[in-house]
């Protein structure tokens, strides 16, 4: 009889892939097939970095975070002021 276990994994350093199958007894013979997921959508950051204007805004925002140049907004107080 054939059964299957499906897991997602991330390829690590030097192409290392780690899987954990605690439901399998030590010494069990298994066959492993690796299916590679190709990205179909780019993430938001990649998309935003395509525009020079957006790229400048994002990089400035990162610099501000690193410098702790932040503005704190108490949403509860803000909400009260809008009522």
pLDDT along the chain (83 residues), means of 10: 84 90 88 84 83 91 92 88 84
DSSP state of 39: P
Distance CA 20, CA 14 (A): 19
Note the pLDDT of residue 15.
Answer: 92
With CA atoms as reference, report the closest residue to 28 among 19, 37, 36, 16. Answer: 19
pTM of the model: 0.38
User: What is the chain's length?
Assistant: 83
DSSP state of 68: T
Cβ-count burial 9-22 (b if 16+ within 10 Å, e if not): eeeeeeeeeeeeee
């Amino acid at each position: 009889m054939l059964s299957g276990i499906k897991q997602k994994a991330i390829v690590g350093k030097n192409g290392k892939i780690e899987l954990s199958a605690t439901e399998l007894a030590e010494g069990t013979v298994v066959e492993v097939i690796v299916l590679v997921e190709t990205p179909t959508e780019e993430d938001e950051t990649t998309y935003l970095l395509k525009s020079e204007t957006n790229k400048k805004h994002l990089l400035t925002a990162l610099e501000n975070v690193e410098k702790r140049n932040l503005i704190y907004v108490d949403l509860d107080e803000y909400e009260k002021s809008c009522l």
